[in-house]
Amino acid sequence: MALSGIQIYKLLPQTNCKECGFPTCLAFAMKLAAKQVELSACPYVSDASKAQLAESAAPPMRLVTLKSNGHEIKVGNEVVLFRHEKTFYNRPGIFIKVRDDEDIQAKVEPAEKFAVSYVGMDLTVDGFAVEATGDPDRFVAAIKTLRQISQRPLVLISSDAKVMAAGLAVLNGETPLICGADANNWEAMADLAKANTPGGPPPHSGGHGQAALVVKADSIEALADLTEKIKGKGVEDLVIDPATKNLSRLLTFSTQVRRLALKKNVRSVGFPIMVFANDSILAAQAVAKYGGFIVLDEFKPETVYPLLVLRQNIYTDPQKPIQVQPGLYEINNPKPESPVLVTTNFSITYFSVANEVESSGLPAWLLVTDAEGMSVLTAWAAGKFDAERIAKAVKTFNVADKVSKKRVVLPGHVAVLSGELEAELTEWEIKVGPREAVDLPAYYKQVLV
């Protein structure tokens, strides 16, 4: 449980020596409770108090990190129930499942090569889940084949600890997720996960790195019981699997677990949630409502594309819009006589304008002004996109040196700025373009050619 300021104060030396930078131990305790300072700022805390305070300072949801050759995915460490309260930090991992008796190459290669270009970012799946069908040799062969195609993080699926150990031996130096432990096999699986943790007993097959462990049960109580037992064996990086593909049950479970972890500080369920999704609705629900690792039964571009975009939007900080770099962008090899179109540096606005002009084949200069990542109307209303800023961008990016015809086209939504901009850029012709980006090509052909 997180401790209150008063509870923390009782664990401090209470000498008010001020070495931490605060006038009293109580003031320091209050800051510590608000997580605004580090405990290490006080040099006089006893070891016993340190242990107690460290426990209370641990995040309510465990951060679980998977690593493979050059790839890493972090899941967990969330601090709010709703994105608008602050932000969601670590995107759920999206994995594609393949059974070890399937054609690995045919199933993995298309997903490995798939990338969605979205507002300047390349979105991809995060890794693959290899499911064993019982034979350790076949499992090993499947993982080796997969590793020839993809280096992304892996989830290994088997309830047989011997099969799992064989699979883990292939992933030397990686941190996969092993799935998993249940009421029957948890000790063997916990031993295996621990054996793969630095500082644990020597690994079964020598040399491999850490492994996080999925714990499966069909109720919150049973999961809490299992995670406590497994933590007692020294395995901390856990993921919980409610063992359901029912939309309603999964939503109820995920919401209850997140509330228990964040609001009640119940550490026994403070872990990312595993979701095996056999359809796109379930996967989309898991992206929106607290899925941690989402394993899709198969790779379909038409399913993965919207999932990746949905995830990107939900896991964007609502207070920090996705932005592009302000500057003068060239579209379709503009010439000195080509027009200068003006917009803001909100990514979606930029790409809407750039894509419309680019696909029309018409050459243009696109002047992106710094509007703190806001769209045209929002920025104008907030005073972040005005004549002064546009004129400043024209000068900062030396637009006059690039063009022979001094013509600036304002977005139609801010036609009201044209008079002020004429006053700022006295040698320039100020034109007012359409309100919507989609109408730019027609406007260009009618007015600018």
Binding site for ligand SF4 (CB under 6 A): 12-13, 15-20, 22, 25, 28, 42, 44
**Gap between the Cα atoms of 163 and 144, Å rounded:** 14
What residue type is assigned to position 43 of the chain?
P
Burial of 175 (0-12, 13-18, 19+ CB in 10 A): buried
Nearer to ligand SF4, 43 or 232 (CB): 43
* Shortest Å distance, C-beta 115 to ligand SF4: 51
Nearer to ligand SF4, 45 or 260 (CB): 45
* Shortest Å distance, C-beta 18 to ligand SF4: 5
* Shortest Å distance, C-beta 76 to ligand SF4: 30
**Gap between the Cα atoms of 29 and 37, Å rounded:** 9
Nearer to ligand SF4, 25 or 296 (CB): 25
* Shortest Å distance, C-beta 46 to ligand SF4: 11
Nearer to ligand SF4, 40 or 426 (CB): 40
**Gap between the Cα atoms of 141 and 166, Å rounded:** 10
Residue 387 · residue 361 · CB < 8 Å: no
Tokens linked to 387: 């004549």
Nearer to ligand SF4, 8 or 414 (CB): 8
* Shortest Å distance, C-beta 14 to ligand SF4: 7
Residue partners of 307: CB distance under 8 A and separation at least 6: 94, 280, 283, 284, 287
Residue 283 · residue 245 · CB < 8 Å: no
Q: What is the end-to-end Cα distance of the chain in Å, rounded?
A: 68
**Gap between the Cα atoms of 246 and 190, Å rounded:** 28
**Gap between the Cα atoms of 39 and 47, Å rounded:** 12
Nearer to ligand SF4, 17 or 281 (CB): 17
* Shortest Å distance, C-beta 34 to ligand SF4: 15
